[in-house]
Structure 1
Amino acid sequence: MQNFLPIAYFQNQFVPFAEAKISIATHALHYGTGAFGGLRGIRDPQSANNILLFRLDRHCQRLSNSAKFLHYDLPADKIQSVIVDFIKKNKPEKSFYIRPFVYTSDLGIAPRLHKIEKDFFVYGLELGDYLSPEGVNCRISSWHRQEDRSFPLRGKISGAYITSSLAKTEAVESGFDEAILLNSQGKVCEASGMNIFVVRDGKIITPGFDQDILEGITRDSIITLAKASGLEVVERAVDKSELLIADEVFLSGTAAKITPVKRIENYALPVEKPITEKLRDKLSAITENRDSNYKHWVYEVPLA
């Protein structure tokens, strides 16, 4: 059972989570005309009176950009202000996940984005590890990622996640933990809700933006950290066969953080994953505000 935070932001006010409800006729429910964000928060290990948020500004800007695809002008600073107030009202004790969501809130039935009401809500829930930190087993999905020419993949549009849902369920029901999707060209794209990285001969390889991937914030952070550590990072098309002979493969995302891949289909990957572990340790130190070089990535919300 999910432990939701007690207060939500809904229809321009803070209300008990149980009272934040939409109509069954809500436009976005029928047409997938919504967009969402997701960010983690933790209690500051050095100061229990502070909540730490990782790259809040980037998350708010991405959601603001996603809203533009819905013809909704929602400034990033408005989103950030609501999220900060949301945290102060909930005062979460455990690690948690925040879900801000923009959507067409009208009760109409015509699939459109013009002359229709939009709205914005925020809720949260306690969340530990989304995927096992020990690693996951993946299969290549029979479902392919959408193309940007038919879907705005630079946004986290809710309708796109039917593909992720199909791929995830297919993977789990066939004995795996996670799915890896190919794009329409047959190249490696991403997992069901995560970006993917491959390590070969000390070099980090990841699909570029031209491969129909989501512009992941954790992905961007990993690339920055890897380069700062002297590691070579290459963004390019990745073949399926490269996954099977890789030295390391790992997934990244807000919920998944950095999750190593143990096996792909019936191919076991090496047990030792030094680069994955190095990057995971570095990212953990930053999110816990223990790295002075990246304090600008951490937003502190005082609760006292």
Structure 2
Amino acid sequence: MDDFLPIAYFQNQFVPFPEAKLSIATHALHYGTGAFGGLRGILDPQNSNQVLLFRLERHCQRLSQSARYLYYDLPAEKIQKVIIEFVQRNRPQTSFYIRPFVYTSDLGIAPRLHNIETDFFVYGMMFGDYLSPDGVSCRISSWYRQEDRSFPLRGKISGAYITSALAKTEAVKSGFDEAILMNTQGKVCEASGMNIFIVRNGQLITPGFDQDILEGITRDSVITLARDLGIPLVERAVDRSELLIADEAFLCGTAAKVVPIQRVESYELPQQRPLTELLRSKLAAITENREPAYQSWVNVVPLS
């Protein structure tokens, strides 16, 4: 457990991480009735006595909205307050990841969301690169992304991630780094835990919300940056065949940041990736609080 931060928030109090334990009868464990968030934190390169959190307000807002699917009223302001105190109590000295989680905490076996207790915890871990920054190989998964008409895809509901787990393991066991899932209409959707962008003829393209994607916060950041930089951008359905002839393609997410796609199936993509590298370097500068125009995206948390 050396990689985990020493203090967790559990059952409305801060406790040593090893003491934050759940019963094997916990309802959410059996039915996937939980929702989670995830955000990165780094030590401020200019001041080691403070931590930088990227788009904390937006992450808390999304988790609060996800909790509503579970009939759990958890204000974003409470989540934010807990996370800030969590960081201050742990005093991390390297890059780290925070995992807040809401869930049905009752002990029982009936699948339901009424007449049931809910709760909220937070823990964290030291965290480096989730995927190789040099780029990844991707296969088209045999598993399809769920549809919004059968699953609340606007939330990060834990039960949905069985599809991501199946797709990721299928990809790795067949010699790839990552999976790309299609939606039920046969259009490109997203990776196992990341959104996807392609570049064609100087235009940045990404599947829109009508393609059953997760409303990714890094995705939103990339879109905003692209528009601010004057990069032509369109949100639309993307065909599988477009992936294979893209000028550039990349994945993005809180854990992955911005990672170029080197290969899709047996098709090598170009090694020159000017837009990908521009957006990646710009986003890195913002997360390190080196871009004054985007300081509202960065929360500075003092450690003393």
Shorter-chain-normalised TM-score: which range? over 0.9
> What code does the residue aligned with 1:66 have?
S
Counterpart residue number, 2:3 = 3
Counterpart residue number, 1:99 = 99
Q: Deviations over 1:35-89 (max 9, x none)?
A: 0000000000011111000000000000000000000000000000000000000
Counterpart residue number, 1:248 = 248
**CA positional deviation for 1:2:** 6.2
Q: Deviations over 1:269-303 (max 9, x none)?
A: 00000000000000000000000000000000000
**CA positional deviation for 1:144:** 0.2
Counterpart residue number, 2:193 = 193
> What code does the residue aligned with 1:46 have?
Q
Counterpart residue number, 1:219 = 219
Unaligned runs of 5+ in 2: none
CA distance in structure 2 between the partners assigned to 1:107 and 1:303 by the alignment: 37
Q: TM-score with structure 1 length normalisation?
A: 0.99
Counterpart residue number, 1:153 = 153
CA distance in structure 1 between the partners assigned to 2:252 and 2:2 by the alignment: 23
Counterpart residue number, 1:44 = 44
**CA positional deviation for 1:106:** 0.1
CA distance in structure 2 between the partners assigned to 1:260 and 1:96 by the alignment: 22
Counterpart residue number, 2:80 = 80
The within-5 A match list for 1:1-304 is 3-304=3-304
CA distance in structure 2 between the partners assigned to 1:199 and 1:217 by the alignment: 20
CA distance in structure 1 between the partners assigned to 2:299 and 2:201 by the alignment: 36
Unaligned runs of 5+ in 1: none
Q: What secondary structure, in the 3-state scheme, does the structure 2 residue paired with 1:128 have?
A: coil
Measured on the aligned residues, the alpha-carbon RMSD in Å equals 0.6
**CA positional deviation for 1:28:** 0.1
- Aligned pairs, number: 304
Q: What secondary structure, in the 3-state scheme, does the structure 2 residue paired with 1:119 have?
A: strand
CA distance in structure 2 between the partners assigned to 1:2 and 1:20 by the alignment: 15
Q: 1:229 to 1:88 in 2, by over 3 A?
A: same
CA distance in structure 2 between the partners assigned to 1:141 and 1:94 by the alignment: 35
Runs of 4+, deviation exceeding 2 Å: none
Q: What secondary structure, in the 3-state scheme, does the structure 2 residue paired with 1:175 have?
A: coil
CA distance in structure 2 between the partners assigned to 1:33 and 1:142 by the alignment: 25
CA distance in structure 2 between the partners assigned to 1:2 and 1:209 by the alignment: 39
**CA positional deviation for 1:120:** 0.1
> What code does the residue aligned with 1:297 have?
W
Q: What secondary structure, in the 3-state scheme, does the structure 2 residue paired with 1:299 have?
A: strand
> What code does the residue aligned with 1:247 have?
D
Q: What secondary structure, in the 3-state scheme, does the structure 2 residue paired with 1:35 have?
A: strand
Q: What secondary structure, in the 3-state scheme, does the structure 2 residue paired with 1:215 have?
A: coil
Q: What secondary structure, in the 3-state scheme, does the structure 2 residue paired with 1:22 have?
A: coil
CA distance in structure 2 between the partners assigned to 1:73 and 1:232 by the alignment: 39
Identity of aligned residues (%): 76
Q: TM-score with structure 2 length normalisation?
A: 0.99
CA distance in structure 2 between the partners assigned to 1:294 and 1:49 by the alignment: 21
Q: Deviations over 1:190-215 (max 9, x none)?
A: 00000000000110000000000000
**CA positional deviation for 1:108:** 1.2
CA distance in structure 2 between the partners assigned to 1:108 and 1:268 by the alignment: 50
**CA positional deviation for 1:161:** 0.1
